[in-house]
Amino acid sequence: MRLLVTGAAGFIGSCYVRTMLDGGYPGYEDARVTVLDRLTYAGRRDNIPAHPRLDFVHGDIADAALVRELLPGHDAVVHFAAESHVDRSVTDGADFMTTNVTGTQTLLQACVTTGVARFLHVSTDEVYGSIDTGTWTEDSPLLPNSPYAASKAASDLVVRAYWKTHGLDASITRCSNNYGPRQYPEKLIPLFVTRLLRGRPVPLYGDGLNRREWLHVEDHCQAVHLVLTGGRAGRVYNIGGGTERTNAELTERLVKLLDADPGLIRHVADRKAHDRRYALDDTRIRSELGYRPRKDFDQGLAETVAWYRDNPEWWRLAGAAEPFTRHGAG
Ligand code: NAD
């Protein structure tokens, strides 16, 4: 078994590859992994230590010649690579369209051309828009509100088209907000933790009552692997974390965990078109594939905070010393 994993120098993909190379996915203990990553600001080579079953290729998923050359000999593509930060897409959406839409299409076309049958596309709950009450199923309409979410929704539709047109064995996952170690300190949890650790104020958008459903990155990666190995072609699988918190509640929890001054919480002007609430119905992956998130949120959050506290060299290198003003929770 040989997998091409895109974007695995980033937060979630690196967790997936580390777990695989550590033997965390039964039956895949001998799998070889090729990582294709452009090493943007969000990607770090040292997120995935050297390993005899790992090949790392520094390159762009939108480079058709490179992707066509790399793919032969692989059994499947697990596609994490993306521009992933909503606030950056509000400032300028161009890279989001190139990487998330054109890059995904480039990979799909190369799979068809080179005969790689299986494709797992990692997407997001943000494609559904915002929901005041209740939950989204996989059949809910796509109503993205940010350029990031629109680029992910577009990529989901391109994946669907390659399944329908070419019979590619492609599945899509849509997960809620991830948290855990090694997340670039621009998203809410790592940004706020690294600022509080330095005694600096944290900027909370609007009234702080936007609600997100939180999923530990290891649970997400287990779910991705379940869909890779057992998911049906042409199907979408929601992956929920089950723990809903307002951004204000989450921020207060981080302040407590770090024993920081609550006066460091500063309300700032809201993000444009800031989605109020995300919430997933993930009955399908639970009933078809036996998915269950294992990590208790309070424990997972405490461990995550401890990781950032214990690894300042990681986030200082990641640029967290800069005066951030952006902080999307996703
Ligand atoms: P990330 O920003 O931490 O990492 C993205 C990785 O992709 C980086 O290593 C980067 O170098 C690489 N990359 C970017 N453009 C590339 C290109 N053109 N070619 C090759 N590599 C490129 O992102 P993440 O948080 O790990 O997210 C992974 C996936 O999960 C994304 O598809 C994202 O949309 C999805 N997702 C993330 C979350 C979350 O909470 N983080 C939630 C839902 C869905």
What are the structural domains of the chain?
2-178+217-239 (3.40.50.720)
326/227: higher pLDDT: 227
Tens digits of residue pLDDT in 126-174: 999 999 999 999 999 999 999 999 999 999 999 999 999 999 999 999 9
The answer to whether residue 326 scores a pLDDT higher than 90 is no
Atom of ligand 1 nearest to the CA of 103: 18
Q: To test the ligand 1 pocket, which listed residue (34, 36, 39, 40) has its Cβ within 8 A of the most ligand atoms?
A: 40
Q: Provide the percentage of residues in the chain whose pLDDT is more than 70.
A: 96
For residues 295-302, give the mean pLDDT. 98
Residue 317's pLDDT band, with cuts at 50, 70 and 90, is: confident
The answer to whether residue 319 scores a pLDDT higher than 70 is no
Pocket of ligand 1 (CB under 6 A): 6-7, 9-13, 36-40, 42-43, 60-62, 80-84, 99, 103, 122, 124, 152, 175, 177-178, 184, 330
3-state secondary structure the chain: CEEEEECCCCHHHHHHHHHHHCCCCCCCCCCEEEEEECCCCCCCHHHCCCCCCEEEEECCCCCHHHHHHHCCCCCEEEECCCCCCHHHHHHCCHHHHHHHHHHHHHHHHHHHHHCCCEEEEEEEHHHHCCCCCCCECCCCCCCCCCHHHHHHHHHHHHHHHHHHHHCCEEEEEEECEEECCCCCCCCHHHHHHHHHHCCCCEEEECCCCCEEEEEEHHHHHHHHHHHHHHCCCCCEEEECCCEEEEHHHHHHHHHHHCCCCHHHEEEECCCCCCCCECCECCHHHHHHHCCCCCCCHHHHHHHHHHHHHHCHHHHHHCCCCCCCCCCCCC
pTM over 0.95: yes
Which residues participate in catalysis according to the annotation?
A: 125-126, 148
**pLDDT at site 325:** 47
Atom of ligand 1 nearest to the CA of 8: 9
CA of 10 to the centre of ligand 1 (A): 6
* The pairing of beta strand 265-268 with beta strand 202-205: parallel
For residues 308-326, give the mean pLDDT. 73
CA of 148 to the centre of ligand 1 (A): 11
121/317: higher pLDDT: 121
The answer to whether residue 328 scores a pLDDT higher than 60 is no
CB-based contacts of 96: which residues, under 8 Å, 6+ apart? 82, 83, 88, 89, 147, 148, 151
For residues 315-329, give the mean pLDDT. 58
Residue 329's pLDDT band, with cuts at 50, 70 and 90, is: low
Q: To test the ligand 1 pocket, which listed residue (84, 107, 128, 176) has its Cβ within 8 A of the most ligand atoms?
A: 84
Tens digits of residue pLDDT in 257-298: 999 999 999 999 999 999 999 999 999 999 999 999 999 999
The answer to whether residue 324 scores a pLDDT higher than 70 is no
Distances (CA, A) of 161 to 91, 164, 238: 30, 5, 19
For residues 214-241, give the mean pLDDT. 98
CA of 259 to the centre of ligand 1 (A): 31
